[in-house]
Amino acid sequence: AQKITQTQPGMFVQEKEAVTLDCTYDTSDQSYGLFWYKQPSSGEMIFLIYQGSYDEQNATEGRYSLNFQKARKSANLVISASQLGDSAMYFCAMRGVLLQGGSEKLVFGKGTKLTVNP
């Protein structure tokens, strides 16, 4: 079974500084994908970034980057130059390879609440 662990219930960061949100995962699949979503207080789930298990380079999307360490089974999200609008819940999720009879479902972590202070 797949499992996502986010050990930081809450994080605080000063505006304009960088912050790293931790995510570790457990899977027996050789091929899998890792996703990060942002959920602001308004409630919607916003896709941020994706990392494939066989991607040679760490994923980047603007101020978001993923520190992917396959051997350690970690996929930490790095937000550079934090902004007040980055205050939100952040969820790490994974999906494994589709096996016969398997599911497309995403498995989510419990999330980390990030607060950006002015």
Judged by CB under 8 A, does residue 33 bind another protein? yes
The residue from 111, 112, 114, 116 that contacts another protein (CB under 8 A) is 111
The residue from 56, 85, 104, 118 that contacts another protein (CB under 8 A) is 104
Burial of 11 (0-12, 13-18, 19+ CB in 10 A): middle
The residue from 11, 20, 24, 50 that contacts another protein (CB under 8 A) is 50
- Least distance in angstroms from the C-beta of 13 to another protein: 23
Stretch that binds another protein, among 13-21, 43-51, 69-77, 79-87 (CB under 8 A): 43-51
Structure tokens at 90: 């952040």
- Least distance in angstroms from the C-beta of 18 to another protein: 25
Judged by CB under 8 A, does residue 3 bind another protein? no
How far is Cα 29 from Cα 98, in angstroms, rounded to an integer? 10
